[in-house]
Structure 1
Amino acid sequence: MISEHSHASHGKVVARLKRAEGHLRSVIAMIENGKPCVDVAQQLQAVESAIANAKRTLIHDHMDHCLDAEGSETDRAELRAISRYL
């Protein structure tokens, strides 16, 4: 059974990940075509940054919309669990 769990930011997260996917394909092609390592490293940095931004957006959105303001013990445990990925 698949549970639908969606937030307004998910579209932006998916767009960032698709952009990162395109960059990653370009990096693979650059390596296969013998491009200079400095150029490859620069593009890898762009991929890494795009993924990090997508992850951060997803986690912050979850913290804003899925955890109660009262901060139950369950919410505090979930906050500790998800904050490990920041």
Structure 2
Amino acid sequence: MHETQGMSEQTHAHQHQSHGDIIKRLKRAEGHLRSVVGMIERGRPCVDLAQQLHAVEKAVCQAKRTLIQDHIDHCLDHAVTAASERGDNTALDDFKLITKYL
């Protein structure tokens, strides 16, 4: 429970313009995924299911890509500038960490 609260607090403290779009994409993907579950329960053909799951997967991947690109464009740029003034490598470590999700 505490972990979820921490994530929620961090989300409110760290907002970017792209987050609204990302939320919309993920909510659409969530609804689409529920639809796929219903298709499975109704016994739809596997080809139809695979096609719809592929669409959900692409939507989630695009949301992730947008989030990471936004992080690189805004957070990382700011962090690198601030870190270079302090002689800190935290921003570079952060970049290395987030790129593993690409």
Shorter-chain TM-score tier = over 0.9
State the structure with bigger RCO (CA 8 A, min sep 6), 1 or 2. 1
Moved more, 69-78 or 19-28: 69-78
Normalised by the length of structure 1, the TM-score is: 0.93
Does 2:13 match 1:13? no
Q: Which residue of 1 aligns with 2:43?
A: 34
Q: Which residue of 2 aligns with 1:78?
A: 94
Stretches of structure 1 lacking an aligned partner (at least 5 in a row): none
Does 2:73 match 1:64? yes
Q: In the comparison of the two structures, how many residue pairs are matched?
A: 86
Q: Distance in 2 between matches of 1:41 and 1:17?
A: 19
Q: What is the 5 A alignment of 1:38-49? A: 38-49=47-58
Deviations 1:30-56 (A, max 9, x none): 000000100000000000000000000
Stretches of structure 2 lacking an aligned partner (at least 5 in a row): 1-5
Percent same amino acid at aligned positions? 59
The letter for the 1-side match of 2:96 is R
Tell me how far 1:19 sits from its aligned partner: 0.8
